[in-house]
Amino acid sequence: MVNFEPGNFSRLFYIDDMKNITLYLIALLMLSTFGCKRNAEDVARITSADTIVVTDTLLQQKLRNEHMVLATLYHQRAAEYRALCYQAFNIGKLMLDKDLADAEIEKHRIVVLDVDETVLDNSPFQAKSILESTSYPTYWIEWCELATAAPLPGAIDFLNYARKNGVSVFYVTNRNEALKEVTIKNLKEAGFPHADEEHVIMRTAEASKEGRRQVLLKKYHISLFFGDNLNDFAETFEGKSSSNRFQAVDDNKENFGKRFIVLPNAMYGDWEMALYGYNGGQPDSVLFDIRRKNLKSF
Ligand SMILES: [Mg+2]
């Protein structure tokens, strides 16, 4: 079995058993990566029984974001991901109907949605990061300025249904204020209702959305929240360790599929940052080890 470590390459390959098999696999990878025939020793050398150091800079760069490939493909190529998006907005419609039937609600109804990976698909940005061996925020502004992020399946139909029923839509995002105009443009051109200055609320000084939620709550009845990150729903989920996030979800289990509608995001999020102790700036080799240590095996 061969494993890759992207990043700063102290131990890019591990081998469990036969060196010859590993070298053969490296040679195969090299052929597919570079499209030309070279000796395995040109790109990697064995330094101990279970460690191979990759010496080729191009190969190092290409492997840097390898861990993001499958998650990004899941968003772009798995019909199951598409089905999950429809499922989320279909549940949203059922719950909104229930809320609309409640005659005791007096305040104006609204639904509150996050933007990225909740109504807009930024997987092309992730793909660019993988292919160019870069990471956020490189290319993020360029991507947002294109204003071409596709709507998530089911989102527009649901939100138009809400608007038709007199429910206003607020988009609460942690994109920077400087991206407001292009975000509105993207939402509007994709066909989202209420994509305007008033209803698109950008990141304030703090990343927490709690303050922005409270402002809306004073004036409106929030029928539903939609998000791909637990922080899109309530303050209680913020800044917690992975196990405490589990506990917070268990404590709020009645809300999911009722007031909180979750969209899947396997590409990034606080679920990943929690693994890193909210320090994603550590060397790639450290993050590599953290990811492996968090796997549950048998
Ligand atoms: Mg999001």
Cβ contact 154:90 at 8 Å: yes
Q: What is the pLDDT of residues 153-199, one digit of tens each?
A: 999 999 999 999 999 999 999 999 999 999 999 999 999 999 999 99
- Name the residue among 17, 37, 18, 16 with its Cα closest to residue 27: 37
- Quote the ligand 1 centre to 49 CA distance (angstroms): 43
- Quote the ligand 1 centre to 242 CA distance (angstroms): 18
Confidence of residue 26 (pLDDT cuts 50, 70, 90): low
What does the DSSP assignment read for 87-130? HHHHHHHHHHHHHHT-TT--SPEEEEE-SBTTTEE-HHHHHHHH
- Quote the ligand 1 centre to 268 CA distance (angstroms): 9
pLDDT of residue 180: 98
pLDDT tops 70 at residue 30:
no
Q: Tell me, yes or no, whether 90 and 56 share the same domain.
A: no
- Quote the ligand 1 centre to 153 CA distance (angstroms): 15
Token couple for 224? 């539903």
Cβ contact 68:267 at 8 Å: yes
Q: Tell me, yes or no, whether 92 and 125 share the same domain.
A: yes
- Quote the ligand 1 centre to 229 CA distance (angstroms): 6
- Ligand 1 (ion): which residues have CB within 5 A? 114, 116-117, 228
- Quote the ligand 1 centre to 202 CA distance (angstroms): 12
- Name the residue among 273, 266, 268 with its Cα closest to residue 239: 273
Q: Residue 71: which residues within 8 A CB-CB, separation 6 or more?
A: 126, 266, 267
Is 168 a domain residue?
A: yes
- Quote the ligand 1 centre to 264 CA distance (angstroms): 10
Is 291 a domain residue?
A: no
Mean pLDDT, residues 222-238 taken together: 98
- Quote the ligand 1 centre to 124 CA distance (angstroms): 15
pLDDT tops 80 at residue 146:
yes
- Quote the ligand 1 centre to 72 CA distance (angstroms): 15
Q: Tell me, yes or no, whether 10 and 125 share the same domain.
A: no
Is 298 a domain residue?
A: no
pLDDT of residue 27: 55
pLDDT of residue 204: 84
Is 284 a domain residue?
A: no
Q: At what angle do helices 155-164 and 79-100 cross, to 10 degrees?
A: 10
Q: What is the CATH number of the domain that holds 93?
A: 3.40.50.1000
Q: Tell me, yes or no, whether 131 and 238 share the same domain.
A: yes
- Name the residue among 286, 222, 218, 294 with its Cα closest to residue 260: 222
Is 289 a domain residue?
A: no
The separation between CA 12 and the C-alpha centre of its own chain, rounded to angstroms, equals 25
Which residue range(s) make up the domain with 39?
Answer: 2-64
Is 20 a domain residue?
A: yes
- Quote the ligand 1 centre to 173 CA distance (angstroms): 7
- Name the residue among 136, 97, 96 with its Cα closest to residue 116: 136
Q: Tell me, yes or no, whether 40 and 187 share the same domain.
A: no
Q: Tell me, yes or no, whether 202 and 244 share the same domain.
A: yes
Q: What is the pLDDT of residues 38-82, one digit of tens each?
A: 566 667 767 766 666 676 777 777 778 999 999 999 999 999 999
Q: Tell me, yes or no, whether 149 and 255 share the same domain.
A: yes
Q: Tell me, yes or no, whether 56 and 159 share the same domain.
A: no
Confidence of residue 284 (pLDDT cuts 50, 70, 90): confident
Mean pLDDT, rounded, of the chain? 89
Q: Tell me, yes or no, whether 59 and 103 share the same domain.
A: no
- Quote the ligand 1 centre to 46 CA distance (angstroms): 42
Q: What percent of the chain is predicted at pLDDT more than 70?
A: 82
Q: Tell me, yes or no, whether 47 and 91 share the same domain.
A: no
- Quote the ligand 1 centre to 116 CA distance (angstroms): 4
Q: Give the total number of structural domains in the chain.
A: 2
Beta strands across the sheet bearing 51-54:
2-4, 13-15, 51-54, 44-48
Q: Tell me, yes or no, whether 14 and 104 share the same domain.
A: no
- Quote the ligand 1 centre to 54 CA distance (angstroms): 35
Q: Tell me, yes or no, whether 155 and 242 share the same domain.
A: yes
pLDDT of residue 293: 96
- Quote the ligand 1 centre to 230 CA distance (angstroms): 9
Q: Are strands 44-48 and 2-4 parallel, antiparallel or unpaired?
A: unpaired
> Which residues in 185-284 belong to E strands, given as ranges?
200-201, 221-227, 260-262
Is 282 a domain residue?
A: no
Is 286 a domain residue?
A: no
- Quote the ligand 1 centre to 115 CA distance (angstroms): 6
pLDDT of residue 51: 64
Q: Residue 226: which residues within 8 A CB-CB, separation 6 or more?
A: 88, 92, 111, 112, 113, 114, 118, 119, 232, 261, 263
Q: How far apart are CA 95 and CA 284, in angstroms?
A: 43
Token couple for 69? 């490939």
Beta strands across the sheet bearing 168-172:
200-201, 168-172, 109-113, 221-227, 260-262
Q: What is the pLDDT of residues 6-24, one digit of tens each?
A: 444 334 444 344 455 555 5
- Quote the ligand 1 centre to 56 CA distance (angstroms): 36
- Taking the CA atoms of 124, 79, 70 and 112 in sequence, report the sign of the dihedral they define: positive
